[in-house]
Structure 1
């Protein structure tokens, strides 16, 4: 086994040790689901950053950047703009202080909105967890020559166990470490590779100028197709809302968002730059070389750069740090996206409809069982997609079209009605599922995955507006919770609970 394997094993052992230690502090569902609502700003920044920078960024985004160039950042920019908008909602979300996004949906609409919202989140998030498993399989195959399918199973086992031990408490505790590792590794690697390959002379003479054009040779419809999935996903991202609920107060939530957007812009730009530079070198090598990377394997470029970093100017220590960063990205995102749907099933289905009088220990046990079952479902979903990028676009669209319009309307449009919100969720989810199923059964996709957000979100928003305007306005008590401030809001929420 290589030194890369042993360093990764040591890093994972450290993360698991923290999770087991934190599990001793779990006393009730508030500890497990929202870390006792006591998370400080630095920890909140770390966990928000690590959750967002998953395999979608490390593998799918980097692979797209390797192929199309800096125009890949349209995919990342959707999240950047979304985070800025979230800045103005973070405080209000924390004041409402629920456990899940479906809590908000029922508060504003009705129980059917809660149920449909839960289904949307479970489908989308288990898909996202699935490609974290695949990312782990890539890593173990690269550093230890473990067959990819075995690596997927080992990754799944680790992420499931880690999440089940201590829930949100473990996640926020390790993510400040993971965030530091990711930031340092990427920011060190980019200048090393840039200057080793020849600096600006290499960029201007060896690279295709199209790699640095604003659209990468694509149409503006393509730009919208890659921008809106992350934009709409971010605005409806249940992990984000659940972590706002974990903040110790409203100020911590808003401050965390400000630092989160800065960190995300810097790291995603650095990852895209590293992918372009490294791929230009490894792709140009003789195909018989072990270091050659074909275009169809471009999603592995960051891992490849870590493993064979000495070839492009990254010393062994830098390569080890970059591999640890990849592991941090995969595990932290897998943990968060596994915890959220398990929370939804526990809070929004079991506790709400099946066993409302369940005790704290029963609730925590049930959620741990859900973590296991959803982890198995995520593994099964891996067989339904050709690439990680396809999985990412489908999951992003499921949330962005199925959840975000109704969720944002709850905070921003008093005229939205219960019928409009429920119809919007059902439409966005249904259209996304239909297109995904039709794409999977045909030899060629009916609609390419990087365009499915356009019909799905377009129809969801249209239905939201039209149905709301055609139905009577909801009574004031349905929407006033989302607009009242401070003491009035506290009184209203206490009355609701």
Structure 2
């Protein structure tokens, strides 16, 4: 533990809580829509930053770093390739998504398939986002345990409290603006660290020569199916991530939504490329450590100057706080809009929806901590959560946007098949060393197509604009 690291981390957390307090006292939160969409008033730089750092959380700097540390730089690039490819698809569909946006993904599905599909989708989304929130808590606990005398579990509890306070106080206002400052901290810290760590290794030649033999191969020793099993969950989640759709809905207009997506695409390369290089350099400098700690150990073990190491560790916490708060906010919106508001009818005024969202954030926090105790690593937890969402929700969402023949029965079949197969595969211990997406995605697609072709399609409704009066 270094005093410099502790001071930087403490200052960062205090600053984030200060932003949250400002928005709590600003009077901008007049109801549930402001809590979720920040009044659709976010400027473009803030939009780009919040989209970027919402996506690259502990799953990047801990789970993704673990993968690159274990399997090498080329396999690491394949793992992260789902991000820019997924963003490209979002870029092509950004205007359509902004035009068809709702408060939540299940609400979007209801416009096409009815209330039954919305209810099932809300349950699936909440389960997946609980897992993603838990992964942020666990990852944050790792970082805090490196910087402070706290244990990893105590650090997890501390991070859960900070993220919960940040989310409850200002909703997307506080989440988005803390994202903006965190993005600057994260990107600068990663970029500056790469040449310093490569110098510590002995230069690019020594770096490559020092990698384990299998890490210098394209697949890192994985079979093609195993590598695909790591690529697909990230790609599929991004295609229909409720967080991304809600961010696009928070844009001022369709043009801003598309421009922000393009900015996120460019920014993503400044995150995952340095993460892969730093994690694989850690494999040369510190063979045999826990892969989850690859980049964090570079910062804590003296391979970087104390101030820069502190910034990297604070950046790791920034990843956790920004992404965790986004998933908590998004999961709470499912409870507030897909369950409470949908069934409460006229009683669900804006103030009540705001209260329900805040109470739901507390519930997500408690369940997220509990779920984090079940999975031993962040990588396992993120793969499970990504697959639940990507295999079950994404095919149905894409059918709303691109396939008019999909039916309600087909959508329900896909949701059930994708979720059940993912959970069953996990319980069975991932036979053959394959991630669940390899079987869950085909199961969901076959169910969607086969059942839709065997049933009658309703006339698809044209969603009203996101800012149209209810």
TM-score normalised by L of structure 1? 0.90
Task: Determine which of 399, 410, 417 is the counterpart of 2:400.
Answer: 410
Task: Determine which of 41, 65, 68 is the counterpart of 2:68.
Answer: 65
Secondary structure at the aligned position of 2:431 is classed as coil
What residue is the counterpart of 2:149 in the other structure?
145
Cα deviations across residues 336-367 of structure 1 (Å, max 9, x unaligned)?
A: 01000101100110000135422222211111
What residue is the counterpart of 2:14 in the other structure?
13
What residue is the counterpart of 1:30 in the other structure?
33
What residue is the counterpart of 2:369 in the other structure?
379
Contact 1:432–1:452 (CA under 8 A) maintained in structure 2: yes
The equivalences for 1:183-262 within 5 A come to: 183-262=187-266
Secondary structure at the aligned position of 2:379 is classed as helix
Secondary structure at the aligned position of 2:154 is classed as helix
The equivalences for 1:52-201 within 5 A come to: 52-70=55-73, 71-201=75-205
CA RMSD of aligned residues (A): 1.7
Task: Report whether the alignment pairs 1:304 with 2:297.
Answer: yes
Q: Give distance in 2, aligned partners of 1:221 and 1:96.
A: 35
Secondary structure at the aligned position of 1:451 is classed as coil
Q: Give distance in 2, aligned partners of 1:205 and 1:343.
A: 49
Contact 2:207–2:284 (CA under 8 A) maintained in structure 1: no
Contact 2:225–2:434 (CA under 8 A) maintained in structure 1: no
Cα shift at 1:44: 1.0
Secondary structure at the aligned position of 1:146 is classed as coil
Contact 1:393–1:450 (CA under 8 A) maintained in structure 2: no
Cα deviations across residues 391-416 of structure 1 (Å, max 9, x unaligned)?
A: 11110001111100000010011111
Task: Report whether the alignment pairs 1:456 with 2:440.
Answer: yes
Task: Report whether the alignment pairs 1:331 with 2:324.
Answer: no
Q: Give the number of aligned pairs.
A: 466
Cα shift at 1:192: 1.0
Q: Give distance in 1, aligned partners of 2:340 and 2:422.
A: 26
Q: Which moved more, 1:232-241 or 1:425-434?
A: 425-434
Cα shift at 1:240: 0.4
Secondary structure at the aligned position of 1:99 is classed as coil
Cα shift at 1:213: 2.5
What residue is the counterpart of 2:456 in the other structure?
472
Task: Determine which of 34, 46, 49 is the counterpart of 2:49.
Answer: 46
Change (3 A) 1:202 1:90: same
Q: Give distance in 1, aligned partners of 2:155 and 2:375.
A: 18
What residue is the counterpart of 1:340 in the other structure?
330
Cα deviations across residues 111-135 of structure 1 (Å, max 9, x unaligned)?
A: 1111111111111111111121111
Cα shift at 1:73: 2.1
What residue is the counterpart of 2:267 in the other structure?
263
Cα deviations across residues 46-81 of structure 1 (Å, max 9, x unaligned)?
A: 011111111111111101111110102222112221
Secondary structure at the aligned position of 2:457 is classed as coil
Contact 1:32–1:167 (CA under 8 A) maintained in structure 2: yes
Contact 2:214–2:221 (CA under 8 A) maintained in structure 1: yes
Cα shift at 1:430: 1.7
Contact 1:15–1:174 (CA under 8 A) maintained in structure 2: yes
Q: Give distance in 2, aligned partners of 1:448 and 1:156.
A: 35
Q: Give distance in 2, aligned partners of 1:39 and 1:358.
A: 26
Q: Give distance in 1, aligned partners of 2:275 and 2:63.
A: 11
Contact 2:208–2:216 (CA under 8 A) maintained in structure 1: no
Q: Which runs of 5+ in 1 are unaligned?
A: 284-293, 440-444, 482-488
What residue is the counterpart of 1:289 in the other structure?
none
Contact 2:57–2:136 (CA under 8 A) maintained in structure 1: yes
What residue is the counterpart of 1:486 in the other structure?
none
Q: Which runs of 5+ in 2 are unaligned?
A: none
Change (3 A) 1:348 1:125: same
Contact 2:69–2:291 (CA under 8 A) maintained in structure 1: yes
Secondary structure at the aligned position of 2:333 is classed as helix
Cα shift at 1:155: 0.9
Cα shift at 1:369: 0.5
Cα shift at 1:208: 3.2
Q: Give distance in 2, aligned partners of 1:203 and 1:197.
A: 6
Contact 1:54–1:333 (CA under 8 A) maintained in structure 2: yes
TM-score normalised by L of structure 2? 0.95
Cα shift at 1:209: 4.7
Contact 1:416–1:464 (CA under 8 A) maintained in structure 2: yes
